[in-house]
Chain A
């Protein structure tokens, strides 16, 4: 890794760590204002979230600094954890046991091997075409036709969401920024993660503060005002981060706005799935934020779009 890239990553990490320190101090200040021995649940929730962000920032910084393999392993594990949560609530029968095991233990690792090798053609069709055709065959061979289409559809959806889409984040590593700085593509991962996270953060708090018009009241409390604030905030942050991207000032703002918008609609889709499955959180693995899927929902929807537009416009 060139020293310039390392320097930029460190600079970013310290910036985010400074921000998290400020949020932690703010939380502790709010805690201290509470009467002796009392705790405000809103403040406590906020603090568990901040603690989880600390863990995520430290993990992602270390992975990005260590190099490509560490980033791949990190996202492969995130895929595995997300798939584990998705399949827990998916409709499945005994006859699907082998196909689900294949999905988790063969197709998932292979997808990340293709990403690591930079076989961009194969990584784009492997799950949507070949896993899509193979797994129903395996299920059908076990000979149980009951609700077959529901079973294979939910299985395929899990793979697309948790493996295919998530793998487009490390797939950004295959993109070459040009003019001799090919390792700077790792910064795009940081850019994507930051603008989507900040977009969601502003959407959530702006929506609670002055949100009026609900986008889909039966599905989620998301409001038009919250979403627009989130997108605007993401665009500003994206513009502020344009120095780590090849997009230029306006391009970075546009890419950030697009990624944040896709991410918010991703959260909306996941809210609908959770309502349907009657689950509040996908698991308890990330304190204060539910499971990996709750956390990744935004990035999942933003990643493929971000990857393809980057390649198309700046490739």
Chain B
């Protein structure tokens, strides 16, 4: 993937902005998505938001709940094989969400995903990443984190890594369903974490995961 975003034609950019507004409106209409800024303020600082991943709607949801001025400077890191599959996805992913596309296929890829990610950070963008790598289908709150979050924190130690827990999406849009259910969705942003001096990968990832799980609200249903 090219690290430098090519300049696109004006009508395409206008269309991308318009589709973005429609998606934000739909997300708000269905889920009344609300950002709960518990550990950080919603200010335009460079950050890497890392979130739990249970549904394809996760990324649009966290993107939609960011204030507009932050959203414009925030790029989700997403899988190239998913977002380049059809022309429509190739428009929505790279152009509407302005995704940083990375190749998940370890064997076939020609470019190191970290290069694209660090290039985006060096351009001044904030990022949204899902360190579990895949959608979590099990009963555990989180899958084990991949190394990416640690590598980012190590390579750019000045950037805050902000945990963001997205609640309820496994019920709003579980895997295999097409119609989203209208349920309230809350995204809770916690206090930032950074890789400490001399901290090893395992310890850091465990600490980052714990900071994310700590934001999880009590499961609403306590059915007898």
A residues contacting B by CB (< 8 A) are: 80-81, 83-85, 87-92, 94, 97-98, 100-101, 104-105, 147, 150, 277-279, 283-285
| Distance (whole angstroms) from the CB of A97 to the closest CB of chain B | 5
With a cutoff of 8 Å between Cβ atoms, the chain B residues found around residue A84 in the complex are 31-32, 182-184
Q: Is the CB of A277 within 8 A of B181?
A: no
The A-contacting residues of B in range 162-212, CB under 8 angstroms, are 168, 171, 174, 177, 179-184
Asked if B107 CB lies within 8 Å of chain A CBs, one says no
B179 contacts which of A85, A88, A105, A147 (Cβ < 8 Å)?
A105
Q: Is the CB of A150 within 8 A of B182?
A: no
**Besides the known contacts A100-B181, A277-B221, 16 further A-B residue pairs in the complex with CB atoms under 8 A apart:** A80-B182, A84-B31, A84-B183, A84-B184, A87-B181, A87-B183, A88-B168, A88-B183, A90-B221, A97-B174, A97-B177, A97-B179, A101-B179, A105-B179, A278-B218, A278-B220
Interface size class of B (residues with CB under 8 A): 10 to 19
With a cutoff of 8 Å between Cβ atoms, the chain A residues found around residue B32 in the complex are 81, 84, 283, 285
Q: Could you list some 15 contacts between A and B, CB below 8 A?
A: A81-B32, A84-B31, A85-B184, A87-B182, A87-B183, A88-B220, A89-B220, A97-B179, A104-B181, A104-B182, A150-B223, A277-B220, A277-B221, A278-B218, A283-B32
A11 to B183, CA, bound (A): 39
With a cutoff of 8 Å between Cβ atoms, the chain A residues found around residue B223 in the complex are 91, 147, 150
A84 to B185, CA, bound (A): 10
With a cutoff of 8 Å between Cβ atoms, the chain A residues found around residue B168 in the complex are 88
Question: B interface, by DSSP: helix, strand, loop or mixed?
Answer: loop
Asked if B34 CB lies within 8 Å of chain A CBs, one says yes
| Distance (whole angstroms) from the CB of A139 to the closest CB of chain B | 13
| Distance (whole angstroms) from the CB of A195 to the closest CB of chain B | 29
Please give me the residue from chain B that is nearest to A84 by CB atom. Answer: B182
Asked if B110 CB lies within 8 Å of chain A CBs, one says no
Known: A84-B182, A84-B184. A92 touches B171 (CB 8 A): yes
Q: Is the CB of B181 within 8 A of A278?
A: no
Known: A81-B32, A84-B32, A284-B34. A97 touches B220 (CB 8 A): no
With a cutoff of 8 Å between Cβ atoms, the chain A residues found around residue B34 in the complex are 283-284
Question: A interface, by DSSP: helix, strand, loop or mixed?
Answer: helix
A97 to B174, CA, bound (A): 9
| Distance (whole angstroms) from the CB of A78 to the closest CB of chain B | 13
B residues contacting A by CB (< 8 A) are: 31-32, 34, 168, 171, 174, 177, 179-184, 218, 220-223
Q: Which 8 A-B pairs have the closest CB atoms?
A: A84-B182, A88-B184, A101-B179, A88-B183, A91-B223, A104-B182, A89-B220, A91-B221
Known: A84-B32, A88-B183, A284-B34. A94 touches B220 (CB 8 A): no
Q: Is the CB of B221 within 8 A of A89?
A: yes
| Distance (whole angstroms) from the CB of A276 to the closest CB of chain B | 9
With a cutoff of 8 Å between Cβ atoms, the chain B residues found around residue A80 in the complex are 182
Please give me the residue from chain B that is nearest to A283 by CB atom. Answer: B184
With a cutoff of 8 Å between Cβ atoms, the chain A residues found around residue B182 in the complex are 80, 83-84, 87, 104
With a cutoff of 8 Å between Cβ atoms, the chain B residues found around residue A147 in the complex are 223
Please give me the residue from chain A that is nearest to B167 by CB atom. Answer: A88
| Distance (whole angstroms) from the CB of B38 to the closest CB of chain A | 14
Q: Is the CB of A97 within 8 A of B181?
A: yes
With a cutoff of 8 Å between Cβ atoms, the chain A residues found around residue B174 in the complex are 94, 97
Please give me the residue from chain B that is nearest to A87 by CB atom. Answer: B183
With a cutoff of 8 Å between Cβ atoms, the chain A residues found around residue B181 in the complex are 87, 97, 100-101, 104
| Distance (whole angstroms) from the CB of A174 to the closest CB of chain B | 27
With a cutoff of 8 Å between Cβ atoms, the chain B residues found around residue A90 in the complex are 221
A83 to B171, CA, bound (A): 15
A89 to B174, CA, bound (A): 17
Q: Indicate the member of A81, A88, A90, A104 with the most B CB atoms within 10 Å.
A: A88
| Distance (whole angstroms) from the CB of A135 to the closest CB of chain B | 13
A150 to B222, CA, bound (A): 12
With a cutoff of 8 Å between Cβ atoms, the chain B residues found around residue A100 in the complex are 181
A94 to B220, CA, bound (A): 16
With a cutoff of 8 Å between Cβ atoms, the chain B residues found around residue A92 in the complex are 171
A83 to B30, CA, bound (A): 11
A92 to B223, CA, bound (A): 10
Q: Is the CB of A278 within 8 A of B222?
A: yes
A87 to B31, CA, bound (A): 11
With a cutoff of 8 Å between Cβ atoms, the chain B residues found around residue A105 in the complex are 179
A80 to B28, CA, bound (A): 13
Please give me the residue from chain A that is nearest to B170 by CB atom. Answer: A94
